[in-house]
Amino acid sequence: MSPTVVYFGNTPLLGYYTLFRDETKLDINYIPSRLLHRLTELNLLSQFFSFILRFPGKMSQRVLIAGRVGTGKTVLAQFFGLQLLREARRRNINLHYVHANCREYRGNMSYILQKILHHFYPNFPVRGYSLEELLQTLMQVLDDENTHVILALDELEYLIQKAGSDPVYQLTRLQESRSPHSPHRLSLICILRRLETLEKLDESTRSTLQHNIIVLDEYSKQQLEDILNDRVELAFKPNTVPSDTISLVAELAEAERGNARYAIELLWRAGKYADANQLNLVTPECVRMAAASIYPNIRKSDIVSLSLHERLFLLGIAKAFNQTGKAFLSTGEAEEAYKVVCEELDEKPRRHTKLWEYLQKLAVMGILKTRKAQVKTKGRTTLISLPWIPAEMLEKELYKSLNEETAG
């Protein structure tokens, strides 16, 4: 691999290279050029707001997008906003999309309204206006500019928690304070994790929000693999991220309730570990190292609590992962690795039924993970993964534990 010269100040860091082609494609704020596995929701969002393109100013809209962390709520809204803006420009419609994260603005509606006003007037004063004055000023600005704004309130929970019903109520009923023939200028997309949060609002405010709701389901493992493959093509150099690595990342993210955000961050971290170790590939072991850095999962007390042969079985698995670089092992491969360890340490290996018990116990403890898989020649088999702990680290800890026991 040819080196890329990176500069620290005016000093070149010679010999540095990276597997990344463009790591910004793994940034949390990156909006992809295509939206995978959210086409139905995107089309529904487009239908809810189609009136803006057909009858600008005739009505306003309020839509809720709900889903767990990592289900793509933010990127769905932002992707839709960009699409709508492009179509509005094509039709010569004056339209703006403003995305405000309520957590970043500390749940303060005045700060959020100032953000919109700064969008039109960068020098608008940041202090001296009440919430009511800011709302009236905003509507006057929108009238003066003859424009329509779609305001996306992300992480709405923080606004509700901080200020209760009043700010949301004022936004949703803003048109009622204007003359009957005034154009409708402001529409809302409210993004939150759980619809139950709306129960903290008063009934009249809830009734204005709950007409159009889009709920995003958790991503499946296959969907996560599709998303990761798409990002790998953009972010990494060709043939540097094997399919096993992507499968392991997807499996970990599926265990985190189908969290695509976690999957993308984990992939980025794994790439950094590969670079730090000057590897030519982002290996499954890099993923384990990355996962351990986010959620450290190895505890000495877990290892000490295992019997001798449970530790030997786990040691065989760790050694096999470390030596082969695989993301998954079959139970047959695990048993063979265990027998090698027993021979090495002069221990008589246990039978298959006992090893199956060990496997179930280790899975329950969260040290490893098992799943059924289809194998062409053998039907169904059990695959073992070591998703949360680097194999090299686990191998060292197990040897250390066995040596301490022998010395004692």
The DSSP call for residue 236 is B
User: For the chain, what percent of residues have pLDDT higher than 70?
Assistant: 92
* pLDDT for res 3: 46
Domains in the chain: boundaries = 39-215, 219-294, 300-407
Q: Can you give the pTM of this predicted structure? A: 0.80
* Cα 70 from Cα 79, distance rounded (Å): 15
pLDDT tens digits, 17-50? 899 999 999 998 999 999 999 999 999 999 999 9
**Residue 1: pLDDT band by 50, 70, 90 thresholds?**
very low
Q: What is the CATH number of domain 219-294?
A: 1.10.8.60
User: How many CB atoms sit inside 10 A of residue 55's CB?
Assistant: 10
**Residue 381: pLDDT band by 50, 70, 90 thresholds?**
confident
Rg (CA), the chain: 27
* Cα 115 from Cα 133, distance rounded (Å): 15
Q: If you average pLDDT over every residue of the chain, what do you get?
A: 89
pLDDT tens digits, 183-193? 999 999 999 99
Following DSSP, what letter does each residue of 12-49 receive, concatenated? EETT---SBS-GGGGSTT---SS-TT-HHHHHHHHHHT
| Fold (topology level) of 39-215 | Rossmann fold (3.40.50)
- E strand or H helix that includes residue 95: strand 95-101
* pLDDT for res 176: 78
Average pLDDT over residues 301-317: 90
Closest CA to 206 of 214, 193, 196: 196
| Fold (topology level) of 300-407 | Arc Repressor Mutant, subunit A (1.10.10)
